[in-house]
Amino acid sequence: MNSPIITQLFANLSFDRSAERAVYLQLSDALLSLIRSNQLHSGQKLPGSRELAALLKINRITAAKAYEELQMQGWLESSIGRGTFISAHVADHPPETLKATTSTSSKIAGFIFHPRDYPTSILEKPIPGLHLDDGYPDPKLSPLKEFYRAYRNQLTRSGLYPKFGNYGNPAGPYPYRQAIAEYLNATRGLKTTAENILSVRGTLMGINLICNALISPGDIVVSEIPGWRRAEHNFKHAGAKWIGVPVDEHGLMVDELRKICRKQKVRMVYVTPHHQYPTTVSLRIDRRLELLRLANEYGFIIFEDDYDFDFHFKHRPLLPLASADENGMVIYCGSFSKTFSPAFRMGYLVASENVIEHLAKVRILLDRQGDHVLDNAMADLLNDGTIQRYLRKTLPIYQQRRDILCDLLGNELKEAVKFTIPEGGMSIWTTFDKSINLEELAKKAYQRGLHLPDGKAHQYANYNANGIRLGFASSPAEDLAKSIEIIKKLIL
């Protein structure tokens, strides 16, 4: 043995023979730790594998394999007749610069970065059995079996190499884009082809892609107040100057937008005209036409987020802005998160062909091409009518649940809340009496097994209606009744 110090270092090593990690790898990890902590130095000779095995009471082959592992990684070097040494290429560090032996690198990075005030995940804690969510579909009603079959068929049909042997079009697979184009033309009055469609993993990715491809630092982006905070944070992350325009009972106040356009060059307006998020109101027809006219006059992009067009109860819904766009000013975005399930990240952007070509090139930098197998499975469900039948089946169910929740709010909570019965969508915008602290209400409700939004996402410097979205679509009647009963006990 080379020295008593090395003997002591090695004698302190121990191994867990019941662990899944092999003993020789545990030994190599221990040796590497000694090297990194500067307890073993560059050029220092190590005991031979026979000596090491005897000291540690392990098989000589195990000791040899540990040395071999570290040699392959470049930490050790050996010479026939001379022995095994710490590599000369391993730099020694002065003891005074060494950090504490307990590493924090898994929690705290060693480099500097500047965190921003991004919204936190809504799934920081488990969702309990009862929930009045942001407005999500009921997965029990979704055609999951049909989707599973369509996905499985993609993996078993012929022509595997064209589908799986190479990268595909970053805009998405042609069958999906063609199916989306035909679906949108039939249901929303659009005039599109596959070349006008780009597949994205949901609306949020669509917004992020637009910010990457079309928004430059300093550009002015306008959206609604109250609005969708995740969209707003994307605009700010892109370096844009964000301006909020108020919403009233008829949607975005377009007159206020006109005032902004007369003073500043607006690059993009983000709007949710069908069911405004979060208030669920629809943008009135005269404002829709004026918004399109302003886009043509001032040259700004309209990003139309149509997140729940398929669910409208009172009458045939107003067609999207994109259906009346004759000058290519609108980028239309939709998603299957609200019609199918938030777990499946499938959506689309619709725009002029040259815009789609540009977005596809930028998309390569972000996601390369998305999930073509998933997209093609959805295309099959669109082409065989599964999605259309599913929507027809669920529409009356969701309307019934809306009516039940509205009755419960009106009869049980009475003067404590105000709301307007939405014409569509999956949630009810509900404002609570100012004396009710929504954040505290959400905490107490969670303790009683009810998930409830806390309202923080809808608060602005000059706006706080003390309101939240109460989603009804994902809950059967009995759960809605239990949920309102919990709220009633907490606030009345």
Burial 191-222 (b: 16+ CB within 10 A, else e): ebebbbbbbbbbbbbbbbbbbbbbbeeebbbb
Mean pLDDT of 285-301: 97
61-81 confidence digits (pLDDT tens): 999 999 999 999 999 998 888
Which two three-digit tokens encode residue 320?
């999207």
List the structure tokens of 166. Answer: 């190479």
In the chain the first and final C-alpha atoms are separated, in Å, by 80
Q: Is beta strand 251-252 parallel, antiparallel or unpaired with respect to 45-46?
A: unpaired
- pLDDT tens, 120-174? 655 567 888 899 999 999 999 999 899 999 989 888 877 766 667 677 889 999 9
Strand partners, 85: 45, 77
* CA 462-464-469 angle, 5° bins: 140
| pTM attached to this predicted model | 0.83
Tell me if 130-136+395-491 shares its fold with 144-388.
no
pLDDT computed for residue 1 by the predictor:
47
User: Does the domain made of 4-97 have the CATH classification 1.10.10.10?
Assistant: yes
Confidence of residue 3 (pLDDT cuts 50, 70, 90): low
| Average pLDDT score over residue span 206-234 | 96
Work out the burial of residue 437: count CB atoms within 10 Å of its CB; fewer than 13 is exposed, 13-18 middle, 19 or more buried: middle
Distance, CA of 381 to CA of 154 (rounded, Å)? 12
pLDDT at 128: 86
The residue among 350, 406, 445 whose CA lies nearest residue 130 is: 445
Domain 144-388: give its CATH code. Answer: 3.40.640.10
Q: Report the distance separating Cα 351 and Cα 330, nearest Å.
A: 7
For the chain, the domains span 4-97, 130-136+395-491, 144-388
31-40, 66-75, 451-460: least confidently modelled range = 31-40
- Residue 371's pLDDT band, with cuts at 50, 70 and 90, is confident
User: Is CATH 3.90.1150.10 correct for 130-136+395-491?
Assistant: yes
pLDDT in tens, 79-94: 888 889 988 887 765 5
Task: Please give the residue that has the higher pLDDT: either 99 or 375.
Answer: 375
Q: Kindly indicate the confidence band of residue 308, based on its pLDDT and cuts at 50, 70 and 90.
A: confident
Do residues 10 and 31 touch, judged by C-beta distance below 8 A? Answer: no
Selection from 391, 246, 251 nearest residue 313 by Cα: 391
Q: How confident is the model at residue 119 (pLDDT cuts 50, 70, 90)?
A: low
pLDDT of residue 105: 65
Band of residue 293 on the pLDDT scale cut at 50, 70, 90: very high
Question: Given a cut of 50, is residue 98 above it in pLDDT?
Answer: no
Mean pLDDT (the chain) is: 90
